[in-house]
Amino acid sequence: MAAKILVLGAGMVGKAMAIDLDKRYDVTSADISEDALAYLNQKHHIKTIRFDVTDWSGLKELISNFDLIISAVPGFLGYRTVEQIIEGGKNLVDISFMPEDTLQLNEKAVQKGVTAIVDCGVAPGMPNLIAGYYNQCMHIDNFQYMVGGLPKVRTFPFEYKAPFSPIDVIEEYTRPARFLQNGQIVIKPPMSDAELINFEKAGTLEAFNTDGLRSLIYTLKHIPNISEKTLRYPGHIKLIQALQAGGFFDSKPIRVKDSEIRPVDFTNTVLFQSWYLNPDDEEFTVMRVRLEGLKDNKRTEVVYDLYDEYCKDTHTSSMARTTGYTATAAASMFLEGLFTDKGIIPPELIGQYPVCFDYMMHYLEERHIVYKCQINLL
């Protein structure tokens, strides 16, 4: 009998995951949006349940009949959702980019006998997996990755589209950036240290500091230098910095005529229209992961490059594919019994097992998501 999987969230990424998993498993999708659920039910005959994930008592009841839960909820709901799933004793894979530290739930997950694979998207996610794998076969002293998802058509003024809520992007732009430098945790302002980087297919992009390392700072803290940057078209970051300096991201309410409104809520509403990624909008994902250190007593550089585009055959965005299929790869790997560790599991703890690393890479390659690897002696 096929394993029963519940996907929480039927947004652009949640849909892609449900469709992918439904080829092998018994999948149900849950979301508060009837329109999103109707698409899955009518176009792909996937079972659906209309549900508000903030109904925490109802959530425990909902998950009780499933073997594995996939959480694709917005970041601000991520931590509480993961916590409730663990409380319910269910294994899960999570892609929500939450501000909280999920490692704090590790003891509870172990007590419940739960495997909770977290941060399992394109990034955080794949760079973690790669770092975990090479951490077993080389002495790494420098690790960096850069990643971005961008529209092919550059539309004034932002030249950006988001396959998820703008509030999650704003969180990324405003959270202080943490990284390791000479073995010490360093905190810098978000959007700092901007630089221009050229990519073969994507052209010249702007890279800047964001807080995307998350668990790597703690699980691989023996690596002295670890950093991460976000990629956008040149000029985008100046516009964002102008909005921030002008108070548009402030959370303290202000009075507008007879109402009080938080500026960040107003900004989120406006940007939702400007940044909305239509189902057929062509976009791409670009990533570079670079490791440097000693391998077989030789100074070695390992570089992984990803360039992935919107899939015209399946009408699936690149960000949905690269994020969602990383999570479905982990879900399939777990359901096939290749990974059995309990607790909060960021992907670097999966990558330490070569059979798991190879499984996930092959799974993605089958879906034409290819991380090209180049190894150079320095």
CB atoms within 10 A of CB 230: 25
Q: What is the pLDDT of residues 199-226, one digit of tens each?
A: 999 999 999 999 989 999 999 999 999 9
pLDDT value at 124 more than 90: yes
* CATH number, domain containing residue 75: 3.40.50.720
| pTM of the predicted structure, to 2 decimals | 0.94
Q: Which residue's entry shows tokens 């509403």?
A: 269
Examine the fold and report which residue of 292, 309, 326 is the final residue of a domain before the chain moves on. 309
Q: Does the residue 378 lie in any domain?
A: no
Nearest to 25 by CA among 322, 365, 320, 336: 336
The number of domains in the chain is 2
3-state secondary structure labels for all residues of 265-318: HHHHHHHHHHHECCCCCCEEEEEEEEEEEEECCEEEEEEEEEEEECECCCCECH
- pLDDT above 90 covers a percentage of the chain that reads 85
Q: Are residues 160 and 237 in the same domain?
A: yes
33/115 same-domain check:
yes
pLDDT at position 164 over 90 = no
Query: pLDDT digit string (tens) for 6-43?
Result: 999 999 899 999 999 999 999 999 999 999 999 999 99
Q: Does residue 142 share a domain with residue 115?
A: no
* Domain boundary residue, one of 291, 309, 327: 309
Mean pLDDT of 51-75: 94
> Of the residues 309, 338, 360, which one is the last residue of a structural domain?
309
Q: Do the Cβ atoms of 117 and 90 come closer than 8 Å? A: no
**What pLDDT, on a 0 to 100 scale, did the predictor assign at position 232?**
97
Q: What pLDDT, on a 0 to 100 scale, did the predictor assign at position 267? A: 92
Answer whether 250's CB lies under 8 Å from 262's CB.
Answer: yes
Q: How far apart are CA 94 and CA 346, in angstroms?
A: 10
Angle between helices 75-87 and 166-174 (to 10 degrees): 100
- Whether residue 64 is predicted with pLDDT greater than 90 in this model: the reply is yes
168 shares a domain with 304: yes
Confidence (pLDDT) at 155: 92
Residue 46 lies in a domain: yes
Q: What backbone torsions phi and psi does residue 363 show, to the nearest 5 degrees? A: -60, -45
CA distances from 275 to 286, 287, 312 (A): 18, 21, 21
162 plus 255 within the same structural domain: yes
Look at residue 115 and tell me if it is in a domain: yes
Q: What CATH number is given to the structural domain containing 173?
A: 3.30.360.10
The reply to whether 153 and 286 lie within a common domain is yes
Beta partners for residue 29, in sequence order: 7, 48
Q: What is the pLDDT of residues 75-120, one digit of tens each?
A: 889 999 999 999 999 999 999 878 889 999 999 999 999 999 999 9
For residues 21 and 7, the answer to whether their CB atoms sit within 8 Å is yes
> If we measure between CA atoms, which residue out of 124, 23, 14 comes closest to residue 69?
14
92 belongs to a structural domain: yes
Question: Do residues 150 and 291 share a domain?
Answer: yes
- Residue 80: count of CB within 10 angstroms of its CB: 16
Query: In the structure encoding, which two tokens stand for residue 51, read together?
Result: 């549900």
Amino acid 339: pLDDT: 97
For 318-346, what is the mean pLDDT? 97
pLDDT confidence tier of residue 278, bands split at 50, 70 and 90: confident
Q: Which domain, by its residues, includes 11? A: 4-121+318-369
pLDDT above 80 (res 45): yes
pLDDT at site 273:
85
- The phi, psi pair for 230, rounded to 5°, reads -95, 150
**Structural domain includes residue 359:** yes
DSSP structure class, residue 151: E
Tell whether the torsion through CA atoms of 40, 27, 115 and 220 is positive or negative. negative
In Å, how far from its chain's centre is CA 149?
A: 11
Answer yes or no: do 83 and 148 share one domain: no
Residues 323 and 304 in one domain: no
Q: Are residues 155 and 190 in the same domain?
A: yes
Do 157 and 37 belong together in one domain? no
pLDDT the model gives residue 310: 94
In a domain, 374, yes or no: no
Same domain, 165 and 281: yes
Using pLDDT thresholds of 50, 70 and 90, give the confidence band for residue 279.
confident
